[in-house]
Chain A
Amino acid sequence: MELTAIKGKKTFRGGTHPLEKKALTSECAISAGPAIKQATILLSQHVGAVCEPLVKKADSIEAGQKIGDSDAFVSAPVHSPINGKVKEVSLQPHPVLGRCMGIIIETDTENNPQKYPCSDKFDGNFDQSKYTSEQICDAVRNAGIVGMGGAGFPTRVKIEPNPRLPKHTLIINGCECEPYITCDYRIMLEWTYQVLAGIKLARKACGVERVLIGIEDNKPQAIETMRRAVLDSKNSENIEVVEVKTKYPQGGERQLIESILARNVPTGGIPPMIGLVVLNIATCAAIAEAVVLGRPLTHRTVTVTGEAVSKPGNFYVAVGTTVGELIDFCGGVTQKSAKVLLGGPMMGLAIGDLSTPITKTTGSITILTGEQIGKAKFERRQTACIRCGRCLQACPERLNPTKIAHAVKYNKLELAESYYINACIECGCCSYVCPANIELTGYIKTGKIYLARKKKKMPQ
């Protein structure tokens, strides 16, 4: 059978082209991560309600045991990746919130078997028909699966059929547009059939027919592998791999939808409003693992990369491993001064505490050298806006970043709102292209927090 060719480069308006730097790790197969003595499981690793701890100090825990959960609809439970004992339940460093309640589990036995990926359990003959939609949704919820691309929206809420917002298409996001990161790329190459099984299950759960897998054209091998797998496997009608143009932020769900369907998600809205569900590649793999094998989401693939780390690579890491441990596992940092990012260089969070644990949404740890960050941030000063309009043209949401940022700078939040500050997806394109080196994204993020506080949606 011939491979279906898709004509024309699919893309969205705006965006930018940062250096990809994916070659650092794109050929590194997913290998086992560090064997940990202690895991720090944060109780908020997702969008939605924070989990309540289900265990207390000195309880014995088994690997895969649920240790935190919430009754809220938008939430996801957390599980222990290791056998052990609860050392403490206390405030722990959190990449976004600063501090958050977390459970520290210590291994008490030497006999703590390491968990391995399960892609060998899947092949092209996978049949999703023996699972019902509810079974899949429940399994996904119980496994604590959240969007693993970064946002961490509970997957069950996404895939559950909703009579008010009927869905017609499932979009799988294999763009991985952030520079440096390669974890989804490796998953597509190595866990191909597991991903496909997850896609079939998600499609079944959503009750939709059509599936579009969007992959950027800088990953021809992934496109080829996924296309071949779709053709070779059973029950894969209406699953199509769509090649999209390599441009940042192609992997933003709103941008991906614009690229492949030429439709825009309403401002302030979510994809289900136009009948779509968008799932990330790693999430699909996790769905297959959870539904078929009943294994909760306790491990994930993390890319450790950047010019300042000795041995970059892709690792299968227990959630709860600290960033410092993982970096040491990769041979440590080669520089005196560096910036450690959870995520890629465009949207990643710079952390100031290496004891911050890996969460379900941490796709990569990028370590930039002092020289690189100096070039971008510290040596060049922010100068006055020359009103060149580059940020307007780079903005994938077609906003006016300079006006918003300056409104925030002078504390005119209403003005910022009139320029639709809340429609900003914080992709960082505006700051990236700014010739005056203005922290546009930083100002806009700050403004959004101020506004949320003003409207009492967020604690002071």
Chain B
Amino acid sequence: MLSELKVSPAPHISGPMSTRSVMLDVIIGLSPAMVAAIIFFRVYAVILTAACVISAVLTEYVCNLLLKKENPLESLGDLSAVVTGIILAFSIPPKLPVWAAVIGSVFAIAIGKMVFGGLGANIFNPAMAGRAFLMASFGVLMTTWTVPATIDPAMPQIKTTADYSDIRTQATPLALSKEAVKKGKDTEIVNEQMRALFFGNVGGCIGETSALALLIGGIYLLIRKTINFHTPLAVLLSAFVFALVAYLIEPQANINPVAHLLCGGLLIGAFFIATDPVTAPLSIKGMWLFGIGVGTITMLIRIVGEYPEGVMFSILLMNAVTPLIDRLCKLTPAGGKPNV
């Protein structure tokens, strides 16, 4: 019989979603890209992803210990460190030494997230912060691209660095695109690779080469309503429009706009990184502004700037202005502003 009456504020039931389930969905959404990464980069993909995930989780645990959290294991349960690890691993070159990946992962969690106060309080996407740190520290390693295991001998090989002379490296489609912009010609090299770009049979970061796998994961997230379509659509649309304008102005110097969408980190950025709820705006209007900012800055860097790729910078820059966007996009109540 009734012996204990519980009380609490309404509502007394709650929806099925939890932070953990959201993160789990992101992990499931990233798994097609993981499969593609294993197909193209074999054991490197597995080793680096495992290294990043394990070091991310361990770093969070150590930070929790240092911060004297009541239960240092609790925050690991939300799986956000795992997601950060996977995304970081997916955005580094396949032949990056494991120690460098671990350093990036430790930085991502310790400085990118825990210093700000843990999940929910970080300003920058932790994985992108880690990648930026790696980029600044190990520039050469971070831009040395291995030929995929499903090797395409027709792909041009442009350089081999001294340290990694035994590895065949190649220019990524974006590096070639940059060359084309500089030279004002040779866009065909990239434009002819559309099929390879779509399936992922090109050089690039571990998880970003296969557009198909990322699209499958992205659509899964959309169907599960883990992310909403506004941010990815805004990113892709604005990038496409920018690339199209550039292409129409100077077709011999700028690659096909569709190729721009497929190559580099644009798709993983649009579906998995720009949609990181913590570092993106709250409102739908804000998400559009954020997405348009990411897409435009990416293309600015790719077409006008010095670097071949700009997804990481554009996301970090937009992360920085997210609080401003939130302030700009203040919602008006359904009944209008109260006249007080």
Contacts and interface: CB of A to CB of B under 8 A. Distances in A.
Interface stretch (B9-17, B152-160, B249-257): B9-17
A368 B2 CA distance: 12
Interface in B1-32: 1-15, 17-19, 21-22
A271 to B, nearest CB: 11
A397 B78 CA distance: 30
Contacts of A332: 1-2
B16 to A, nearest CB: 9
B272 to A, nearest CB: 14
B334 A442 contact: no
B6 A345 contact: no
Interface in A408-439: 419-420, 422-423, 426, 428, 431-437, 439
Given A386-B277, A398-B333, A435-B21, A18 B13 contact: yes
Contact of A266 (B3, B17, B228, B335): B335
Contacts, number: 201
Contacts of A352: 5, 7
A165 interface: no
A389 interface: yes
A179 interface: yes
Contacts of B8: 339, 350, 373, 377-378, 439, 442
The listed residue with most B CB atoms (<10 A of its CB), out of A264, A370, A436, is A436
Interface in B241-296: 277-284, 287
A13 B8 CA distance: 28
Contact of B335 (A265, A428, A442): A265
A298 to B, nearest CB: 28
Interface string B116-130: 011111000000000
User: Main SS of chain A's interface residues?
Assistant: loop
A432 B121 CA distance: 22
Nearest to A346: B11
A336 interface: yes
B196 to A, nearest CB: 36
Contact of A338 (B6, B14, B15): B6
User: Main SS of chain B's interface residues?
Assistant: loop
Nearest to B7: A350
Contact of A264 (B118, B120, B334, B340): B334
A267 B18 contact: no
A429 B9 CA distance: 13
A264 B75 CA distance: 42
Interface in A241-271: 254, 258, 264-269
Interface in B281-340: 281-284, 287, 330-340
B284 A393 contact: yes
A11 interface: no
A332 B74 CA distance: 39
A51 B339 CA distance: 32
Contact of A341 (B12, B15, B333, B339): B12
Contact of A347 (B11, B278, B284, B330): B11
Contacts of B280: 387
B17 A435 contact: yes
A310 to B, nearest CB: 11
B282 A389 contact: yes
A58 interface: no
Nearest to B226: A388
Contact of A383 (B3, B17, B19): B19
Given A423-B335, A431-B11, 11 more contacts: A179-B13, A254-B335, A333-B2, A337-B2, A337-B4, A339-B8, A347-B10, A377-B14, A390-B17, A433-B15, A434-B15
9 contacts: A254-B334, A266-B336, A267-B336, A351-B5, A386-B120, A388-B277, A420-B333, A436-B18, A441-B9
